[in-house]
Chains A and B, each alone.
Chain A
């Protein structure tokens, strides 16, 4: 009789997914649309799900509240629905609904949209570790895990039902052995497949802020997808002009240097990292390199050699994204193609002309399921 609701729920989900799909390109090209909230929640505003009505605007959304407080004291933040009384009624869906998707769900939608294959991890993927979660209550246990509140409630309940609860005497509650409650845990298996993403970006003078925004957006989605595939995901960031160094995430996205470009310097840092911390037999290694393709002519040879000998054998995938820049010549891509052609299947290259090309680039990078 009621499970008719399944149909409506299905319909709603279809619409949500439809909306997300429809707007997905927009979200990707306007990277700011999606913000990571809390641990891994992303909320996508989907105003079309709201049935529009004639409504009062912001300045009418005052109301009456109850409690202590001085005049001028804030009671709520502007963007939450503090609509006050009157709208506290029962009609559904009156305010803009933010559909909360977990990053995993979002990655799934991305995966569906781009028809990305699931990644086959290598390494000791099947070895599961166990992790303890405290999520239940037992009657026995060590005193250190005693759940004070539950114990108190049990004792109170017992005393009240026995009639020994003496409210006159300030209601003293004395737990006996049977009242005690203890926290208890369950072992939850955590599969152990390790992955690391190494981002390399050219920050030489020819990369402008626009190009960095493209790199940032693309990196966010690559992160989202790989995170949905691996439990523990490490990230390393390398920036380079004529010399390379490892940096933290925020520096990676914000630094602007000038000077020449020596790609081999970045490869060197990358190869050292792999050798030092990420044993290829245990780790799934992903390298993403973003550049405008302007390299010092004589450096190409060294770079290609290092790529062939120390990086490609170690990693699952090496992706080279070339951002179109008003200054860059873009010749490194040609050098790569000339050196490897189609023979090296771990190497993927793509040209990103502008923001709207990001989605195709991601599809190309991750479409191989490695």
Chain B
């Protein structure tokens, strides 16, 4: 059976190249897990890529969809996957069998950059380094549920969960959001609750002045007010709005055991993949930096030159509508290296207004290499851009901000102002460019309804998608679900009660057409 098939061992000439590349990478101080290269054909590579790098992943139609897209793209000659590397210990990377030797060299050098990044970047610290096994376990569990409960049912539930897979708290791996539930917290023996412990503010005063400085009426009012606050806090559920909607559902949604397990599997995978989204620019930039360093200084041979230059240029090509993460990343790393080599940083440099002096600034500090290693350890894309995208860089690389023009129906260049460009870039990177959503109330109107809150940051939700997502959420929560957001400058609540979508605003409630219908006609 094909399931038992093994990868071909690496042919001797590739093994020799790998040994070379590893040697150079180590010499430059890269630090990586053992890296295993597998040679696969184009269809196998498309399949593995469709599974997000894990051939043992659980079955789901969207992987098939992805596969079809990738393999069609390859066979039509539209696209080609060059490298695929998995954050795991050992690191697995795949080579496309039909690639030329030059490509293999390039890919291997690139992969060592990624492996180093996975191992050392702080945002990957929490990820499971045995994820190959983890994914295989997930696959087995879900396959078992499918055998027991039926493919349709399990798949439908997965679809519903996928709708909210991005409602996780990507920063929670570093921050303690709530106290652990104590299993030993009992009511105090006196029956005294928090409510009884509140006290009004009392200023010290001589006894004859006391009724004037601390008027009894004011004290009573304050006490009542505090009691009310405590009471409402106790009634709130969750006690603080939480962004980890998936976790909230795991704890509080009425799920069957297998559903709970499926939800937890998808949540685990979402957390595992999140750092890759958070560090796309840095990760690709870092790998590109190292493949170009290793290739151009050591590994390239005359016959490789044209092919290498061609493919490098292809990878780094810019686009008007999509900022190429490879390009931006590698240029920023080079810029940082250059600035720290010249000592072009710090207060004195920042305050220098003379263009010529700035351009020729050189203190021979030679800290560039050290600095970029430090940067790759602590930053993610958001902080990376925030910290290192400078006015000079923005000008030099001709960055601009574009936006949608409702009148013309086109995306148009809006501005080249540095502050605007940077703000837009940071916005696109904040929360991976997705709306920030909290669970505010799990017992809304005291009827067990779920109330979410979109923290509005100037951009509206796509209503049709929101409706469909609510419908999927309803399948998990099984009670009406709501999301509060801002539409056309007004607070609005979109609700789904299992049958109808509703939009409630201060000026009234309207019934929304089923989201599916809306999508079909647009």
> Which among A26, A33, A53, A60 is the interface contact of B469 at CB below 8 angstroms?
A53
Instruction: Tell me the bound Cα distance from A96 to B464 in angstroms.
Output: 12
Q: Is the CB of A54 within 8 A of B466?
A: yes
Q: In chain B between 30 and 83, which residues have their CB closer than 8 angstroms to a CB of chain A?
A: 40, 43-44, 46-48, 50-52, 55, 59-68
Q: Is the CB of B65 within 8 A of A93?
A: yes
> Which among A9, A49, A161 is the interface contact of B303 at CB below 8 angstroms?
A161
If A64-B400, A74-B408 touch, does A160 touch B424 (CB 8 Å cutoff)? no
Chain B contributes a number of interface residues (CB within 8 A of A) equal to: 98
Q: Which residues of B contact A23 (CB under 8 A)?
A: 520
Chain A contributes a number of interface residues (CB within 8 A of B) equal to: 69
Q: Which of B412, B432, B437 has the most CB of A within 10 A?
A: B412
Residue of A nearest to B519 (CB): A47
Q: Is the CB of A69 within 8 A of B429?
A: no
If A3-B47, A52-B472, A73-B412 touch, does A157 touch B303 (CB 8 Å cutoff)? yes
Q: How far is the CB of B419 from chain A (nearest CB, A)?
A: 13
Instruction: Tell me the bound Cα distance from A5 to B431 in angstroms.
Output: 31
Q: Which residues of A contact B520 (CB under 8 A)?
A: 23, 26, 33, 45, 47
Q: In chain A between 76 and 105, which residues have their CB closer than 8 angstroms to a CB of chain B?
A: 76-79, 82-93, 96-97
- Told that A4-B59, A57-B460, A87-B433 touch, could you supply 6 new A-B pairs with CB distance under 8 A? A9-B64, A11-B60, A54-B461, A66-B327, A92-B62, A93-B65
Interface string of B99-115 (1 = CB under 8 A from A): 00000000000000000
For residue A309, CB closer than 8 A to chain B, the reply is: no
Q: Which residues of B contact A (CB under 8 A)?
A: 2-6, 40, 43-44, 46-48, 50-52, 55, 59-68, 155, 159, 162-167, 273, 276-277, 280-281, 302-303, 305-306, 318-325, 327-328, 397-406, 408-416, 421, 424-425, 428-429, 432-435, 437, 454, 459-463, 465-466, 468-469, 471-472, 483, 515-516, 519-520
Instruction: Tell me the bound Cα distance from A89 to B520 in angstroms.
Output: 27
Residue of B nearest to A52 (CB): B468
Q: In chain A between 1 and 42, which residues have their CB closer than 8 angstroms to a CB of chain B?
A: 1-5, 7-13, 15, 23, 26, 33
Q: Which residues of B contact A55 (CB under 8 A)?
A: 434-435, 461-462, 465-466
If A52-B468, A59-B404 touch, does A66 touch B398 (CB 8 Å cutoff)? yes
Q: Which residues of A contact B461 (CB under 8 A)?
A: 54-57
Interface string of A308-338 (1 = CB under 8 A from B): 0000000000000000000000000000000
> Which among A33, A89, A92 is the interface contact of B66 at CB below 8 angstroms?
A92
Instruction: Tell me the bound Cα distance from A11 to B60 in angstroms.
Output: 8
Q: Which residues of B contact A161 (CB under 8 A)?
A: 302-303
Q: Is the CB of B321 within 8 A of A65?
A: yes
Q: Which residues of B contact A59 (CB under 8 A)?
A: 403-404, 406, 459-460
Q: Is the CB of A62 within 8 A of B414?
A: yes
Instruction: Tell me the bound Cα distance from A64 to B417 in angstroms.
Output: 11
Q: Is the CB of A76 within 8 A of B411?
A: yes
For residue A142, CB closer than 8 A to chain B, the reply is: no
For residue A68, CB closer than 8 A to chain B, the reply is: yes
Q: Is the CB of A84 within 8 A of B321?
A: yes
Q: Which residues of B contact A92 (CB under 8 A)?
A: 50, 52, 62-63, 65-66
Instruction: Tell me the bound Cα distance from A68 to B424 in angstroms.
Output: 18
Q: In chain A between 152 and 208, which residues have their CB closer than 8 angstroms to a CB of chain B?
A: 153, 156-157, 160-161, 163
Residue of B nearest to A79 (CB): B409
Q: Is the CB of A62 within 8 A of B325?
A: no
Q: Is the CB of A67 within 8 A of B398?
A: yes
Q: Is the CB of B413 within 8 A of A70?
A: yes
Instruction: Tell me the bound Cα distance from A342 to B412 in angstroms.
Output: 64
Q: Is the CB of A3 within 8 A of B404?
A: no
Q: Which residues of B contact A72 (CB under 8 A)?
A: 412-413
Q: Which residues of B contact A251 (CB under 8 A)?
A: none
Instruction: Tell me the bound Cα distance from A367 to B402 in angstroms.
Output: 53
Residue of B nearest to A84 (CB): B428
Q: Is the CB of A47 within 8 A of B516?
A: yes
Q: Is the CB of A91 within 8 A of B277?
A: yes
Q: Which residues of A contact B434 (CB under 8 A)?
A: 53-56
Q: Is the CB of B305 within 8 A of A89?
A: no
Q: Is the CB of A2 within 8 A of B55?
A: yes
Q: Is the CB of A85 within 8 A of B398?
A: no
Instruction: Tell me the bound Cα distance from A33 to B55 in angstroms.
Output: 38
Q: Is the CB of B61 within 8 A of A89?
A: no
Q: Is the CB of B320 within 8 A of A11?
A: no
Residue of A nearest to B318 (CB): A66
Q: Is the CB of B399 within 8 A of A77?
A: no
Q: Which residues of A contact B55 (CB under 8 A)?
A: 1-2, 4
Q: Which residues of A contact B65 (CB under 8 A)?
A: 9, 12, 49, 92-93, 97
Q: How far is the CB of B280 from chain A (nearest CB, A)?
A: 6
> Which among B4, B40, B432, B468 is the interface contact of A86 at CB below 8 angstroms?
B432
Residue of B nearest to A12 (CB): B64
Instruction: Tell me the bound Cα distance from A212 to B403 in angstroms.
Output: 41
Q: How far is the CB of B483 from chain A (nearest CB, A)?
A: 7
Q: Which residues of B contact A157 (CB under 8 A)?
A: 303, 306
Instruction: Tell me the bound Cα distance from A70 to B408 in angstroms.
Output: 16
Q: Which residues of B contact A75 (CB under 8 A)?
A: 320-321, 402, 410-413
Q: Which of B43, B276, B277, B462 has the most CB of A within 10 A?
A: B462
Q: Is the CB of B404 within 8 A of A61?
A: yes
Q: Is the CB of A163 within 8 A of B302?
A: yes
Q: Which residues of A contact B412 (CB under 8 A)?
A: 72-75
